[in-house]
């Protein structure tokens, strides 16, 4: 109504000015415009275009344009702008998040149309179908790459805190991200948003690591799957065509395991008491033969308190270092005295030659409730036996319990004995050289099978032969 009144006043004003203009023309050109009737005619002719223009102006409408397409035509621009704002506000209220429309997505332009204009509800229905809008959310970025989007920054921080708390234990264990992690504003579609627990689960298990396993003897699909903590179905899915019947030793199998999108580093201090190993100190006793030794002082372990800084990655220990330690009890060293006296001074280091080919099957010392005075060397019947060192044959023949036996004197109170022989090749009083053949392996005397019983006797005392051969 207000627009019509204004238009009417405008038309009256234009008519008044035209009347004044015609009067001036009549004064200037009385021959052309000389009568009152002609003035009225001229006013009518000039007023018709003005009235037509005013009529057109009175039906001006506003086109609401979205992405280049006209959605609707409304009577007033202000009504259209209000409808758009109300629609966006309703979206924000429903989602509880800010809504962003691309700049210049909606434009308004005048249009002349005689048809009826659309109302606010029609415009909003069109907006629901055509308007391209996005929600302002919070993105969680890892090394500058967006991984997930959540409702807002507070939810984003909640997600990060939950992930860190998985690997932290109050003041005892502190956690931090290995990669660069940041919260930034992002524009997303509503279906891209995740709830906090969904985002935590995705970040913790959203990546897949593929490892290769080589099939070992006795492996089954169930064994391999159980060791990898996956199901047999998941194992077969990662290895199309894999079957228990076709699996072979040495075959490479892929194992797909869930892995985190971001790694969490955590550290804690571990205080523990540890045993300090006692040192072993050796001394030389020239009265003992080479290879002989005596324990002079028993060693005792010490004790220390150690503070370790332990580093974990995703809950798995990756390293530890000592940051502090103190000794609680000093260790007591073990002292051993070793002999350097040569068994036979004229033979280099005084070592004896191995008397036959074979392996020691019964050592020197306690055996079956008694003392075994030598070592038993297993060998086939008839295997040659040689002198362990040069010397003189003191005995050859049968000896109680030993069977056929050979004793060789090497001077300096050293004698070697070779027992359970099947035959001998030397005589008493004969001089033999180191490595000289003296007889053959047998099973005479108290014997359970073919072998050589070998003894080393020094000044009448039996010694462990393994110290000298």
In three-state secondary structure terms, 431 is strand
CB 366 within 8 A of CB 372: yes
Residue 259 — φ and ψ, nearest 5°? -140, 155
Q: Indicate the SS3 state at residue 430.
A: coil
CATH of the domain spanning 359-467: 2.70.70.10
Summary mean pLDDT of the chain: 83
Residues 79, 83, 84, 85, CA torsion sign: positive
Distance CA 183, CA 86 (A): 30
pLDDT digits (tens, 9 = 90+) for 40-62: 565 555 555 554 554 444 457 88
Mean pLDDT of 233-246: 85
Mean pLDDT for 147-156 is: 94
Element housing 150 (H / E): strand 145-150
Beta carbons within 10 angstroms of residue 30's beta carbon:
10
Provide mean pLDDT across the span 334-362: 78
pLDDT of residue 5: 44
Calpha distance 83→131 (Å, rounded): 13
Question: How far does Cα 8 stand from its chain's mean position?
Answer: 83
Q: With pLDDT > 70 as the criterion, what percentage of the chain qualifies?
A: 83
pLDDT given for residue 433 in this prediction: 92
Cβ(156)–Cβ(188) below 8 Å: no
- Beta strand 174-177 with 316-329 is unpaired
How high is the pLDDT of residue 158?
Answer: 95
Distance CA 442, CA 440 (A): 6
Which one has a higher pLDDT value, 428 or 242?
428
| 3-class DSSP state of 74 | strand
The predicted structure's pLDDT at residue 328: 95
Copy the structure tokens of residue 148.
Answer: 């997930």
Cα–Cα nearest to 356, from 435, 446, 447: 435
CATH number listed for the domain at residues 267-338: 2.20.230.10
- DSSP letters, 235-264, are HHHHSTT--TTT--TT-EEEEEEEE-SS-E
The C-alpha angle with vertex 42 and arms to 7 and 50, in degrees rounded to 5, equals 25
At 193 the pLDDT is 93
Q: How confident is the model at residue 103 (pLDDT cuts 50, 70, 90)?
A: confident
Tokens of 292: 């002989």
Give the pLDDT of residue 11: 47
Residue 175 contacts residue 164 (beta carbons within 8 Å): yes
Q: Residue 358: pLDDT above 80?
A: yes
Q: Give the CATH fold of the 207-259 domain.
A: Membrane-bound Lytic Murein Transglycosylase D; Chain A (3.10.350)
Residue 216's CB is within 10 A of a number of other CB atoms, namely: 10
The answer to which of 39-53, 61-75, 200-214, 443-457 has the lowest mean pLDDT is 39-53
Residue labelled with tokens 């060192």: 389
Q: Which pLDDT belongs to residue 342?
A: 67
DSSP for 342-386 reads -SSTTSTTTPPPP-SSSEEEE-SEEETTEEE-SEEEE--TT-EEE
Contact criterion met (CB below 8 Å) for 304 and 276? yes
Q: Which two three-digit tokens encode residue 74?
A: 């409304």
| Apex 87 CA angle, 85 and 93, nearest 5 | 100
Task: Give the model's pLDDT for residue 27.
Answer: 53
Task: Using pLDDT thresholds of 50, 70 and 90, give the confidence band for residue 16.
Answer: low
pLDDT digits (tens, 9 = 90+) for 250-300: 899 898 888 899 999 998 889 999 999 999 998 988 777 777 788 999 999
User: Tokens 């007033």 appear where?
Assistant: 76
Query: Binning pLDDT at 50, 70 and 90, where does residue 38 land?
Result: low
Q: What is the pLDDT of residue 3?
A: 42
Fold agreement (207-259, 359-467): no
Q: Where are the domains of the chain?
A: 2-58, 62-132, 137-205, 207-259, 267-338, 359-467
Name which residue leads in pLDDT, 401 or 34: 401
- Give me the residues paired with residue 352 across strands: none
Cα dist from 383 to 135, 360, 442, 448, whole Å: 95, 15, 8, 17
What average pLDDT does this structure show over 4-29?
A: 52
pLDDT digits (tens, 9 = 90+) for 162-198: 999 888 766 677 889 999 999 999 999 988 999 999 9
Please state, in angstroms and as integers, the Cα–Cα distance from residue 357 to each residue in 351, 417, 446, 469, following that order: 17, 16, 21, 13
């Amino acid at each position: 109504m207000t627009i019509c009144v204004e238009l009417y006043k405008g038309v009256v004003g234009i008519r008044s000015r035209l009347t004044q203009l015609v009067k001036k023309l009549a004064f200037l050109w009385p021959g052309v415009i000389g009568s009152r009737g002609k003035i009225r005619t001229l006013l009518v002719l000039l007023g018709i275009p003005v009235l037509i223009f005013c009529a057109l102006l009175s039906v001006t409408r506003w086109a609401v344009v979205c992405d280049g397409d006209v959605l609707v035509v409304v009577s007033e621009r202000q009504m259209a702008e209000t409808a758009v704002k109300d629609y966006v506000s309703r979206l924000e209220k429903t989602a509880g998040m800010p809504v962003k429309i691309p700049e210049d997505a909606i434009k308004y332009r005048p249009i002349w149309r005689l048809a009826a204009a659309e109302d606010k509800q029609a415009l909003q229905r069109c907006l629901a179908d055509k308007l391209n809008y996005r929600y302002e959310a919070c993105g969680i970025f890892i090394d500058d790459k967006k991984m997930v989007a959540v409702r807002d920054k507070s939810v984003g921080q909640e997600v990060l805190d939950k992930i860190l708390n998985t690997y932290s234990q109050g003041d005892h264990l502190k956690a931090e991200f290995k990669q660069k992690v940041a919260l930034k504003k992002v524009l997303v579609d509503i279906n891209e948003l995740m709830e906090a627990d969904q985002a935590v689960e995705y970040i913790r298990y959203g990546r897949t690591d593929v490892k290769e396993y080589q099939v070992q003897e006795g492996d089954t699909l169930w064994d391999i799957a159980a060791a990898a903590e996956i199901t047999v179905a998941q194992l077969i899915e990662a290895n199309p065509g894999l079957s228990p019947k076709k699996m072979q030793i040495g075959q490479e199998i892929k194992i797909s395991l869930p892995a985190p999108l971001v790694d969490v580093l955590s550290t804690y201090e571990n205080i523990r008491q540890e045993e300090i190993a006692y040192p072993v100190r050796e001394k030389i006793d020239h009265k003992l033969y080479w290879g002989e030794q005596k324990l002079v002082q028993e060693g005792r372990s010490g004790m220390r308190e150690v503070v370790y800084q332990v580093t974990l990655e995703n809950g798995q220990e990756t390293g530890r270092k000592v940051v502090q330690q103190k000794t609680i009890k000093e260790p007591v060293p073990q002292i051993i005295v070793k002999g350097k006296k040569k068994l036979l001074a004229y033979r280099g280091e005084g070592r004896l030659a191995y008397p036959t080919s074979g392996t020691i099957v019964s050592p020197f010392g306690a055996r079956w409730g008694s003392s075994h005075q030598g070592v038993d060397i297993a060998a086939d019947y008839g295997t040659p036996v040689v002198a362990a060192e040069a010397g003189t044959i003191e005995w050859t023949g049968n000896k109680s319990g030993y069977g056929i036996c050979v004793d060789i004197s090497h001077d300096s109170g050293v004698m070697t004995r070779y027992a359970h022989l099947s035959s001998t090749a030397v005589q008493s009083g004969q001089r033999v050289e180191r490595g000289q053949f003296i007889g053959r392996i047998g099973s005479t005397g108290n014997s359970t099978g073919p072998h050589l019983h070998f003894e080393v006797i020094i000044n009448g005392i039996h010694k462990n032969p393994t110290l000298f051969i």
